[in-house]
Every structure is written in C-alpha cells, then in structure tokens.
Amino acid sequence: MEKHKRAKMWLTHPYKWGQKYSLWPVHFCTGCGAIEMPPTMLAPYDASRFGMGPMASPRQANLLLITGYMTTKTLKYVIRTYEQMLTPRYVLSFGSCPIDGGLYYTSYNTINHLEWYLPVDVWIAGCMPRPEAFLMGVNRLMEEIEAGRADGYKRYEENIDYYRRNQERTLGKEFLAELKQVEWLT
Ligand code: SF4
C-alpha cells in the first residue's frame, strides 16, 4: 500500500519529492546548538543521507537552522539571511530559547519568541536537542513538505506587515530602512 502511495505521489507530484530530498541548510548557526552541527553533518550521523548539505551562500540555500538563543544583533543577520534565500524556504528551530527565551527569558538583549519575527516550520524542544532529535526534526520537515504544509515562506509573504511591525519594534526603523536598500527587496 505504502509502495502504491509513493508511486502515485512520484507520478503526480515529482516536484514535492525534489523539494523534500533537497534540503540545503545555510551555513549559519546561532547559540549553543552550533556545537551539535558538526557531529550531525559528519559521521556517525551523516545528515547527507537525508539529502542535506550545508551551503555557504544563503542565495543557494533553502533551509535556515536556528540552533539556539538569539540576541537582537544576531536577529538582524538572521532576517537578512532568510530574505536572501530561495523559495520555497524553510525554518527549523531547535532548543527552548527560540521558542520562549529558555534560560535567557529575562535577558535584555535576547529575543524570546522567534515566531514574532520569522515563520518557523518545525520546532524541536530541548536544551540542547541532540543530533538524533535534530534528524527527527528534519524527518518531520520532510513530511510537512510532502503534505504541502511547510508553508512558512507563504505566511511570511502574506503577513509581512505583522512581521515588519515586530521587527521594527525590536530592531528599530533604521533596520527596516537598511533592508529596503538591499537589492533583493527593492
Ligand atoms: S536551548 Fe539551551 S542549549 Fe539551546 S541555546 Fe538555549 S540555553 Fe543553549
């Protein structure tokens, strides 16, 4: 049955298979989770088995990994990076900090709700999630892509006023003005 389902999907939605098995994370890490990335990408976890390979340039990547807490300064670079990426693009966030601030909930310079600024497709809870949890998150993202539910990039475009308001509140008008000067937004 499963075989038939997959054959039907291949025939009717080959592009979804392409998207599902072509995840290119941009080589950009935030917070403590950066430490988990080398073992995840290399042996013994070997993330390339899942069709993943880190890309140096956001313009050639479609997966943004938020690997831990984010300061307001880092958030600026994360938003710039996200907006340069190809669509469909996905955000996978791990660790408690991007969800609700985690250990840094009361910190004056750490953001505690990533979802206010960028659309997240898959969350992985924990402090810090191990590589196994990260790969489970990747599998979950693949399922969401296959089901057509990994639509964070559409939410971003449709609700851009909401995201811009939150970005301006935290990062200031100057940041939005800088963004507007950048070629990919004009
Ligand atoms: S969730 Fe824990 S491990 Fe991850 S960034 Fe926050 S404090 Fe660090």
Any idea which of 10-14, 76-80, 87-91, 113-117 has the lowest mean pLDDT?
A: 10-14
Residue of the nearest CA to atom 2 in ligand 1? 127
* pLDDT at residue 9 is higher than 70: no
- Which residues form ligand 1's pocket by a CB distance below 6 Å? 31-33, 68-69, 95-97, 102-103, 127-128
Q: How far apart are CA 41 and CA 37, in angstroms?
A: 6
* pLDDT at residue 54 is higher than 60: yes
Ligand 1 center from residue 117 Cα (angstroms): 19
Ligand 1 center from residue 104 Cα (angstroms): 9
Ligand 1 center from residue 31 Cα (angstroms): 7
* pLDDT at residue 186 is higher than 50: no
* pLDDT at residue 113 is higher than 90: yes
